[in-house]
Each structure stands twice: as C-alpha cells, then as structure tokens.
Amino acid sequence: MNITRTSNPTLGKNAFASEPVATDGNVMTLKGAINKTIILFAILLLTAIVSWKLTMSGSIAGPALLIGASIGAFIVAMIASFFKKSAPITAPIYAALEGFLLGAISSLFEAAYSGIVFQAVALTLLVFGLMLFMYKTGILKASGKFIKGVVIATGAIGIFYLVSFIVGLFTPAFNEYLFANPLIGIAISVVIVIVAALNLILDFSTIESSANSGAPKYMEWYAGFGLMVTLVWLYIEILRLLSYLRRD
C-alpha cells in the first residue's frame, strides 16, 4: 500500500499496511471514515455532557474523573492500535471515555470563562469542516514538502510539550514564567492550533490512500478513531487559546 505519511501515531503507515487487502470488494472509503468519525464525535459529546453535569454538580470529583478516564482511554487506544479488527467496538468505547475526560476538563474552563466551551466546540467543528473542504477541493494537498513541514512542526511541538512537562516537575514556576506574558501564550497556542488543523489534511490523505489501496471496511472505524485523536488535540488547544484571549 502507498500510504501517506502522517504525524498521527494511530494513522501511521504501518497502521494500514499491516492489514490485509479486502478481496470481497467491501473496502473502506473516506466518506465512510468521516461518517464513523461523526458517530464517534456524537458519542463523545454525549458522555462529555454527562461528565460535565457530574463534575459541575459535585457528584464526582473532577480530578478523579480525569485520571480514571485518561487511564481507560489509554488502555482502549492501545487495544485498538494492536487489534484493529476490534475497532468497531473499541473506537466507540474510546470516544465515550474521551468524552468523560473532556467533560471534566471543559467544566474547569467553563467555571473560569463562561461560554468558552461552546465556542471551542463550534470552532473545532468549523476547523474540521474547513480542512475537509480544503482537502477535497485540492486547495491543500498532502505534497512531499507539506507532509515534511507538518511532521517536523508536530515533532517540535511534541518536544516542547515534553520539555515543559519535565522542567515543570522540577521547577513548578517554569510554565507560569513562560506564559507570564499573555501574548507569548497566545502566539504559542495559535501555532499549535494551526499545526493540529494541518494534521487533519495528512489524516484525510492517509485514509483516502488506504481506501484506494483496498483496506477492509472495519478500518473505517479505526480511521475514525485516529481522526478523533487529532480532533481531541485540536479541541484542547482551541480551548487553551480561547482562555488566553479571555484573560484580563
């Protein structure tokens, strides 16, 4: 299979190349993968609302929900990645757990900035639709230079996350000092949001090239799971960016 390179670890080259080519004509399509993604997003929104209400009402502690959902989502993601035929089951479970996780996170932001969550969800869906439109119309193409640039930028962001986390463990004031100037936080968040959005182009290209190579139908669920990983990242970064813009 000639698979486009992507920064998303769940949609890497080996993710599709390792699966057998469908011989019965029942192959995955980009449209099918998008439809599965919409279903998964709906599941995520439903559980996020439940998580939101539980957290805001005090029925469950936010940190406990965050930790539990994070661990559960990670375990299910590993199962989905290694046993891709299980994707029709594991992908919805992953979406549900991510919903609980994002609901808890969102409630914290909403408590500080009223209305920010609705804005973040709307912008995430808008960016997703815009990137899909730009990909399908050919405005943005996953060319060699484009892929290389996005992969390098994503790798740099990953290093930034890691360094910030490690240094923050030993110097808690580091991240506060780094973002003491709101303009710095806004600039960093804008860059990360743009890179996350561009990763969707690579994801779409990977999925379409896999479909053209005859990937089996169940991989639509796996592709939807992979797209959810990018969308969750995009949503969190948009939420963070909006919080910087709302600060006094």
What is the maximum alpha-carbon separation in the chain? Answer: 60
- In the numeric block, which tokens belong to residue 179? 């973002």
Q: Is the pLDDT of residue 212 over 90?
A: no
Bridge partners (DSSP) listed for residue 216 = 27
pLDDT digits over 165-183, tens only? Answer: 888 777 777 667 666 667 8
pLDDT digits over 56-97, tens only? Answer: 777 676 678 888 899 999 999 999 988 999 999 999 999 999
Report residue 11's pLDDT band, with 50, 70 and 90 as the boundaries: confident
Instruction: Quote the pLDDT of residue 237.
Output: 93
Instruction: Quote the pLDDT of residue 2.
Output: 46
Instruction: Quote the pLDDT of residue 7.
Output: 62
For 113, 136, 175, the CA distances from 246, given in Å and listed in that order, are: 7, 34, 19
Instruction: Quote the pLDDT of residue 210.
Output: 85
Angle formed by the axes of helices 30-57 and 87-112, to 10°? 40
- Burial of 16 (C-beta count, 10 Å sphere; 0-12/13-18/19+): buried
Instruction: Quote the pLDDT of residue 168.
Output: 76
pLDDT digits over 105-151, tens only? Answer: 998 898 889 999 999 999 999 999 999 999 999 999 888 899 999 99
- In the numeric block, which tokens belong to residue 70? 């994070």
Q: Is the pLDDT of residue 22 over 90?
A: no
Using left for φ > 0, alpha for ψ between -120 and 50, and beta otherwise, residue 58 falls in left
Q: Is the pLDDT of residue 5 over 60?
A: no
Q: Measured in whole angstroms, how far is the alpha carbon of residue 167 from the centre of its chain?
A: 25
Q: Taking the model in full, what pTM does it have?
A: 0.87
